[in-house]
Amino acid sequence: MSRVVGWPCAAPACGQPPRAPAVRTPGSAPRSALADTAPCPPDELTARVSMWTSLEPAAITVDPGAAASVRLRLRNTGDTVEEYRLRPVGDPAGWTRVEPEVLRLYPGAEGTAQVTFAPPRTPDAVAGPTPFGVRVEPAEHPEIRDVVEGQVTVGPFTELRCELVPLAVRGRWRAKAAVAVDNLGNQPLTVSLSGRENSDALSVEAQPGSVQVAPGRAAFAQLRIRPGTVSWIGGSNKHPFTVSALRAGVPEPTELHGSYLQLSVLPRWAMALCSLLMAAVLAFVALWFTAQPSVTTAAKEKPGQAARPIEPPKKPAPPAPSVQPSQAPSAPEKPADKAPKGGDDKKDEGPQAQTIRSAVNGGWYLQVNQGDQTDGTQVGQNPKWTADEFGRNQWWVIHHFPENNTVALEAASAPGSVVDTKAGTNEVQIEAVSAEDLRSGKLPTNQKWRLEDAADGRTRIVNTSNNECLTDMQNDKGAVTWACSDGPNERQDWKIADGQ
């Protein structure tokens, strides 16, 4: 309950007692207090403006998806007719409604308004007590506006969504996957993750074993999958596995099912090729020992030696000529096509700057955040084309190394700096390299990438150190590398072009 009183206009000399006390002579009648005040002309009289407000009740509880109301009482305790505008303020203002929004009251009259709270069943309405207010503003005298305060408590609700990314992985020695945990409720959640293989053929380990997720946020945990035995020969074997996500306070976990395709170290075609090579070697050895080449010699026995001649070493006979003696070997023909001489050759201008855009949500641009040139600056994504606003931070120079079919991505806004993966993480950043290493391709594996065709003009950018694909996280923080999915994935497919 509150009461606001104001006097918009008050002349200092109007209605105030005189500065010097009144002088009375002996025997004169006493003067009244009103007689000792300075009279106010009728045009200088000002109306007193005041109001009284109250909330019934001042605190209320409401569940998300439901509605609850309190009553606002307002009384005009002034001397003039006034119109009051009512408007909700504070964090709950987005889901608070006041009806009616305007009250017009005569002096001494009282009116009521209904304040209704309808929090949505989304993470925007956070569970717990939240203060609210209703601003009361007189139209004629806005300088005496008031805010009536109360408290609304939003009830909690829980909604959890878990996803295994990807559902199927493959590898010979090990494989990686991830679990995405989305908190769609309005209170923080703690989720424990544990892997369970359906037999002794696999071991599944989650890192970390538990994650804490704020309302409206998502958290990720890595899965490390290792086979129990190595398959050397025999094609591929498929092993199912299960990941359990247990929320604190809930007895039953959420189960995610995936599969691991274990590839053999030596595929079947390699065994067939080895068999053919072994058969060819055996056939060559057999022919070598069974063949008897004929040889001739021009050596003669010297006089005085024993009748038994000594045989000289045998030499193979020279092959017979394949042409008639009358035919002379023709001179080798000169090549007809020669490289043009003079100034007709076009000089190689080197790699040109290009843009790299993801295939999701209209194509976010890969960029060096804020155009910074410092080592370790994150490489992120931006849905807008910034042109030269940050020093060409959305332009890239792609250097090809044909000896191993790899590339290096040089930032046009930071010449001499290339894209790499931060050591021990999957974060993508820029790092300065020498001009000689960039020209020759003598770069570490975390700074070199493979461009793989993904059809429909799309390309996957795979890091050679962890064989993970560059992935668009749809934010302006930073891109990451992630395990490449088996099929199309708009977050891992990129379009490389000469312009925006």
Provide the pLDDT for residue 3. Answer: 54
CATH topology of domain 2-154: Immunoglobulin-like (2.60.40)
Provide the pLDDT for residue 318. Answer: 52
Cα–Cα distance measured from residue 479 to residue 376, given in angstroms and rounded to the nearest whole number: 13
Distances, alpha carbon 373 to alpha carbons 409, 430, 473, in Å: 14, 8, 22
Query: How large is the greatest C-alpha to C-alpha distance in the chain, in angstroms?
Result: 191
Asked whether the beta carbons of 476 and 368 are under 8 A apart, the reply is: no
Asked whether the beta carbons of 87 and 135 are under 8 A apart, the reply is: yes
Residue among 157, 131, 187, 152 nearest 61 (CA):
152
The CATH code that applies to domain 353-497 is 2.80.10.50
Cα–Cα distance measured from residue 474 to residue 494, given in angstroms and rounded to the nearest whole number: 13
Residues of the chain with CATH 2.60.40.10: 2-154
How many helices (H) and strands (E) the chain has is answered by: 2, 31
Provide the pLDDT for residue 167. Answer: 86
- Give the residue carrying structure tokens 């006034």: 82
Distances, alpha carbon 206 to alpha carbons 194, 250, 457, in Å: 6, 20, 36
Provide the pLDDT for residue 239. Answer: 81
Q: Which two tokens stand for residue 387?
A: 């042109």
Provide the pLDDT for residue 297. Answer: 54
Cα–Cα distance measured from residue 97 to residue 72, given in angstroms and rounded to the nearest whole number: 12
Provide the pLDDT for residue 483. Answer: 92
| Residue 46: strand, helix, or coil | coil
Cα–Cα distance measured from residue 433 to residue 221, given in angstroms and rounded to the nearest whole number: 33
From first to last of the 500 residues of the chain, give the pLDDT tens digit. 555 544 444 334 444 444 444 334 344 334 333 334 444 444 333 445 688 999 999 999 999 999 999 999 999 988 899 999 999 999 999 999 999 999 999 999 999 999 999 999 999 889 999 999 999 999 888 888 889 999 999 999 988 899 998 888 888 778 888 999 999 998 998 999 888 766 667 788 888 989 999 998 999 999 888 886 777 766 677 888 889 898 887 888 888 888 888 787 766 667 678 888 889 998 888 888 887 555 555 555 454 444 444 445 555 555 544 444 334 344 444 444 444 444 444 444 567 889 999 888 778 888 998 888 899 899 988 888 888 888 888 899 999 999 889 999 999 999 999 999 998 898 999 999 999 998 998 899 999 999 999 888 899 999 999 999 999 887 767 889 989 988 788 888 989 987 66
Asked whether the beta carbons of 178 and 483 are under 8 A apart, the reply is: yes
Q: Which two tokens stand for residue 431?
A: 């790092």
Q: CA torsion, points 226, 232, 236, 239, in degrees to nearest 10?
A: -30
Provide the pLDDT for residue 491. Answer: 86
Residues of the chain with CATH 2.80.10.50: 353-497
Provide the pLDDT for residue 49. Answer: 63
- Give the residue carrying structure tokens 């000089």: 347
Residues of the chain with CATH 2.60.40.2310: 160-263
The CATH code that applies to domain 160-263 is 2.60.40.2310
Question: Where does residue 355 rank: exposed (0-12), middle (13-18), buried (19+ CB within 10 A)?
Answer: buried
Cα–Cα distance measured from residue 396 to residue 414, given in angstroms and rounded to the nearest whole number: 10
Distances, alpha carbon 97 to alpha carbons 71, 86, 128, 130, 322, in Å: 12, 10, 20, 16, 106
Cα–Cα distance measured from residue 42 to residue 440, given in angstroms and rounded to the nearest whole number: 97
State the pairing for strand pair 146-154/59-62: parallel
Q: Which two tokens stand for residue 272?
A: 């067939």
